[in-house]
Amino acid sequence: MRFFSRLFQRPPPPFTAALDVTEPVALIGDIHGCDMLLNRLLDKLAAARGPLRIICVGDYIDRGDGSAAVIDTLMQRPDIHCLKGNHEAMCLGFLDDPEKCGSRWLRYGGLQTLASYGVAGSVQGGERGLERVRDDLALAMGDVRIDWLRDLALTWQTGNLLVTHAGGNPAQAVDNQRSRDLLWGHPDFMTTPRTDGQWVAFGHVIQDEPVMAEGRIALDTGAYATGVLTAAVLGDGPPRFVTA
């Protein structure tokens, strides 16, 4: 009986909800230490037809060479709303527990972040030890920057648009999402058709080109590897992608 119930199960209806935002917004994908690309993209967005609220989807640090510069640029722009990505979470994990979290973070781009703050380190911590490297990084960053990372939100919403780093669990309402799914993604996010009329903009997974379809807006074009940083501009005429 279970086989026949699956056989005659109706497919979910197609996603037909129109994107509805309450104000013009620009959503910027994963920056990953590409400070020059960020500045170019911000200059392009400043030339838009009207003012835009700018939202960044997270992953400001690691892999690229300018993590420190990216953080300082974003902190100096109170008009930019920044969300937390999994790389910010890994960095905070290293600061809180270097022995437990250090090796993983350093393998996934943390070495470049250390270098941007003038801190030497290695995956094993070398002779200095991971705790010593953590202490040097904490001193170089300072409490204000570290607190800024800790205070980053996981989501931002307007109308029927949800912005988060990695998309989340399509079977759960926004208020019921686990932070892990919002930061690291969920295995069903890209394969389960949306039936709730909710659009979700996200980064985290590198795309050959930005995509806006089926209730999803994919923004990560791999800036540190491709040299292309992407923003989606919504509510300011027809939806469009802007790149630097």
Which helix or strand (DSSP H or E) is residue 38 part of?
helix 35-46
User: Contact 121/128 with Cβ under 8 angstroms?
Assistant: yes
Per-residue pLDDT at 127: 45
- pLDDT tens digits along 33-42: 999 999 999 9
- pLDDT tens digits along 20-76: 999 999 999 999 999 999 999 999 999 887 789 999 999 999 999 999 999 999 999
pLDDT interval class at 113 (50, 70, 90): very high
Per-residue pLDDT at 2: 54
Strand, helix or coil for residue 122 = coil
Q: What are the phi and psi torsion angles at 54 (to 5°)?
A: -100, 130
User: Contact 243/207 with Cβ under 8 angstroms?
Assistant: no
What does the chain come to in residues? 244
Q: Domain spans of the chain? A: 15-85+154-244, 86-151
- pLDDT tens digits along 199-244: 999 999 999 999 999 999 999 999 999 999 999 999 988 999 999 9
How many CB atoms lie under 10 A from the CB of residue 114? 25
Average pLDDT score over the chain: 92
**Is the model's pLDDT at 177 over the cut of 60?**
yes
Q: Extract the tokens encoding 134.
A: 């953590």
Query: Scanning the structure block, which residue is given the tokens 């930019």?
Result: 80
- pLDDT greater at residue 9 or residue 44: 44
Enumerate residues 6+ apart whose C-beta is below 8 A from 104: 90
Model pTM above 0.85: yes
Enumerate residues 6+ apart whose C-beta is below 8 A from 67: 32, 33, 60, 61, 112, 113, 116, 117
Superfamily classification of domain 15-85+154-244: Metallo-dependent phosphatases (3.60.21.10)
Q: Taking residues 107-116, what's their average pLDDT?
A: 96
CA 74, CA 152: separation in Å to the nearest integer? 12
Per-residue pLDDT at 123: 55
**Is the model's pLDDT at 9 over the cut of 80?**
no
b/e map 54-87, b = 16+ CB within 10 Å? bbbbbbbbbbbbbbbbbbebbeeeeebbbbbbbb
